[in-house]
């Protein structure tokens, strides 16, 4: 399936109801399960990833397939290593290429019985749960913060708790802090000093939690506002002081002429033309999910950029760096990177573009949503496999249509 996306001319005014945060939803579901499934979670995300997490935690089957849900794979690996029983944890073809070795080795050092069923250090896994003990463990912090969050969440239920030493460059530290804050709200404490995490033994006291809106999903609307000066968008359920790393959006987009006003109920964003001098520079080590949106938006505005902290994009739903270079190239933007993927840059020059280009999504929801607003450059573009957005934001195309874009099946 393909969608043809046509952009409206001029300003946009809309009320956008975002899904709830997938990152918070999946952590809170894990904490509720570790608390014995007591309490109530309100306003859960309706994303595919959260549906997968709900299904897995309620399943009594010997094999659990989590599809493309990366956080579910990491969190459930730790969960099934803790609870008694044997489970085969598998996923999609892409999931079977995504590394899980650092987490498995850390769990094994605590007594876990986990075997790789196909490729070394990758799913599927055969996990025989029970028998974990607390203590100390070291883990590479440069691959995924979700490995660390998975260990943190089971730590209070280990005898003596757990001390985690982080090695290498620690990526996405904001998500580690999110996990710790949610644990504290559910009755388990701990500390994180940037290199070392200490969590005492204890238990969870889970009562009720309401999940806030998804700041990652808001990024596409900041992009829309920036590309359409004079626009005004109201987005409820987003709050100042959010736990989410992507809540840096107001600061990032302020430099691009998009202003944010907070209220108790949500945010109002408005845009106006602003001339940006020089090259936009930012380190995305704490918010890598914003890279695709920011790259697309800055290309659309004609602002050269240099991003760092992008190395984890190689092992996401797809190789996001390669995907951005390929697809933005169809629109005439020649992005550059280094061998490690730690840098992504554009020099501000644009060559001729394909008329109504077909944008591949690589089964990556963020590729679809970040590049769709660039229909404003050529009048229209096509999105391949558009329903991939259900991974995090099932109603995205409906919301885009309500905002004035034309969304048609090709």
Residues with active-site annotation:
289
- Helices H, strands E: what count in the chain? 13, 22
| Eight-state DSSP code of residue 21 | P
| Eight-state DSSP code of residue 325 | H
Alpha-carbon distance of 130 to 212, in angstroms, equals 33
Residue 398: partners with Cβ closer than 8 Å, 6 or more residues away: none
* First-to-last C-alpha distance (Å) of the chain: 7
Alpha-carbon distance of 217 to 228, in angstroms, equals 18
- Nearest alpha-carbon partner for 374 in 385, 382, 364: 382
Alpha-carbon distance of 215 to 196, in angstroms, equals 27
| Eight-state DSSP code of residue 248 | G
- Nearest alpha-carbon partner for 109 in 158, 180, 177, 71: 158
Tokens matching residue 247: 């809540």
Environment class of 259 (CB within 10 Å of its CB; exposed 0-12, middle 13-18, buried 19+) = middle
Tokens matching residue 273: 């033309």
- Residue 152 C-alpha from the chain's centroid: 19
Neighbours of 302 (CB within 10 A): 13
- Residues 389 and 346: beta-carbon distance below 8 Å: no
β-pairing verdict for 162-167 and 135-140: parallel
Coil vs helix vs strand at 49: helix
Burial 106-129 (b: 16+ CB within 10 A, else e): bbeebebebeeeeeeebbbbbbeb
């Amino acid at each position: 399936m393909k969608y043809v996306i046509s952009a409206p001319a001029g300003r946009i005014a809309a009320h956008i109801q975002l899904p709830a945060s997938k990152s918070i939803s999946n952590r809170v579901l894990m904490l509720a399960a570790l608390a014995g499934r007591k309490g109530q979670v309100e306003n859960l995300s309706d994303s595919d990833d959260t549906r997968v997490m709900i299904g897995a935690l309620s399943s009594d089957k010997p094999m659990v397939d989590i599809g493309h849900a990366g956080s579910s794979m990491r969190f459930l690996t730790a969960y099934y290593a803790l609870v008694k029983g044997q489970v085969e944890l598998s996923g999609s073809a892409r999931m079977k290429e995504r590394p899980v070795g650092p987490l498995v080795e850390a769990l094994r050092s605590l007594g876990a019985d986990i075997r790789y069923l196909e490729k070394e250090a990758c799913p599927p896994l055969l996990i025989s749960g029970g028998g974990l003990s607390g203590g100390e463990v070291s883990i590479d912090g440069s691959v995924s913060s979700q490995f660390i969050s998975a260990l943190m969440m089971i730590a209070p239920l280990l005898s003596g708790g757990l001390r985690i030493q982080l090695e290498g460059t620690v990526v996405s530290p904001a998500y580690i802090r999110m996990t710790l804050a949610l644990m504290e709200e559910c009755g388990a404490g701990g500390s994180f000093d940037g290199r070392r995490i200490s969590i005492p033994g204890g238990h969870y006291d889970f009562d009720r939690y309401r999940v806030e809106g998804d700041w990652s999903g808001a990024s596409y609307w900041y992009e829309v506002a920036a590309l359409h000066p004079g626009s005004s968008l109201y987005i409820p359920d987003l709050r100042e002081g959010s736990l989410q790393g992507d809540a840096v959006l107001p600061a990032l987009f302020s430099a691009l002429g998009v202003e944010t006003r907070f209220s108790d109920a949500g945010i109002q964003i408005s845009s106006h033309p602003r001339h940006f001098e020089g090259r936009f520079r930012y380190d995305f080590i704490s918010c890598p999910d914003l890279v695709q949106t920011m790259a697309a938006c800055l290309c659309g505005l004609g602002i050269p950029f240099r991003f760092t902290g992008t190395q984890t994009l190689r092992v996401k739903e797809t190789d996001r760096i390669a995907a951005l270079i390929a697809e933005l190239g169809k629109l005439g933007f020649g992005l550059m990177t280094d061998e490690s993927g730690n840098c992504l840059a554009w020099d501000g020059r644009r060559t001729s573009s394909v008329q109504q280009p077909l944008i591949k999504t690589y089964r990556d929801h963020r590729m679809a949503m970040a590049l769709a607003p660039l229909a404003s450059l050529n009048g229209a573009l096509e999105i391949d496999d558009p329903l991939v957005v259900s991974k995090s934001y099932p109603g995205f195309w409906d919301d885009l249509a309500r905002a004035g874009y034309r969304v048609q099946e090709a």
